[in-house]
Amino acid sequence: MNSFLGPLDSSGGVPPRQQTRVGAFLISAHGALARRLAMGTPPTLKFGWQTELHSQLHRETEIATLMMRATSWVADLELAPLCLTWETAWLPKLVEGVVDWSQGLLIDLAALAHAIHAAIRPAVLLPPEANAEDPFVLALRRIEFESSRLIQAQILFLKGPEFVPIRDCVNAAVERRHQQVRDLWETMLESIGVRCA
């Protein structure tokens, strides 16, 4: 097991099998967020916060399409069951202790997005000698950079004053999503010989 992706090829690129697994995982996670945001963003915006939803939708879509194009794909027979596991994990979940189910689903979406943007740090997997001009390398760096901006909307929402009375429920929902995302990410990385530090 290594802490970084590799061994890199002679041009400083990540092996295609590792690219395929990492790319598929990121597309699955960010694609799930994009789908759920698309469902929640109305065709005509009526409130200021919906502007943020619209922005998030397009950033998530950008991440998914970027990975589709930047990844060197190879055939991977194990990918189908893995994708099924990931997609099942991203399904909406009710939040314990929140009576209003629509509010609970919003909290769960924000919790999942917080976890995906916080717990997945693809750029730290790159060894220092990775080719800075390689599309996959650049894409991983860009996703990590964008995630630190995108998470701000979730932080503001989840720490908002309207959730003070149910702060423990919100916190527990976010911690659960963090653990879930972290476990899936680490399991996927272990399957390609990478152990998270």
Partner 1 sequence: MLFLSGGGHRIRYELRGPASGPAYVLVNGLTQYAELWSGYCDTLVAKNFRVLTFDLLGQGESDKPSLFINQDDQVAAIRTLVDLLGEGPVFLSGISFGGLIALRYAIAHGGTLAGLVQMNSFAQLSPQLLLLGNAMRTGLILGGTSYLQDLLLPMNLSDAWLGPQLNHLEAIKRQGWLINDVYALQNLMDSFLDFEALTDRLGAIRIPTMILNGEFDFLTPRSLHETLRANIPDSALIIIPHAYHAFTLEKPALTAELLANFATDVLAGKWKGGGSVWIAPEEAGGELRLFPSEYDHLRAIPVRKAVT
Residue number, 85 or 148, with CB nearest to partner 1: 148
Note the residues at the interface with partner 1 (CB under 8 A).
Answer: 114-115, 117-118, 121, 124, 128, 144-145, 147-149, 151-152, 155, 158-159, 167, 170-171, 174-175, 178, 197
Residue number, 82 or 125, with CB nearest to partner 1: 125
We find the least distance from the C-beta atom of residue 80 to partner 1, in angstroms, to be 31
We find the least distance from the C-beta atom of residue 190 to partner 1, in angstroms, to be 18
Residue number, 4 or 15, with CB nearest to partner 1: 4
Residue number, 167 or 195, with CB nearest to partner 1: 167
Residue 192: CB atoms within 10 A of its CB come to 18
Residue number, 93 or 117, with CB nearest to partner 1: 117
We find the least distance from the C-beta atom of residue 171 to partner 1, in angstroms, to be 5
HEC secondary structure over the chain: CECCCCCCCCCCCCCHHHHHHHHHHHHHHHHHHHHHHHHHCCCCCCCHHHHHHHHHHHHHHHHHHHHHHHCCCCCCCCHHHHHHHHHHHHCCCCCCCCCCHHHHHHHHHHHHHHHHHHHCCHHHHCCCCCCCCCHHHHHHHHHHHHHHHHHHHHHHHHCCHHHHHHHHHHHHHHHHHHHHHHHHHHHHHHHCCECCC
We find the least distance from the C-beta atom of residue 113 to partner 1, in angstroms, to be 12
We find the least distance from the C-beta atom of residue 149 to partner 1, in angstroms, to be 7
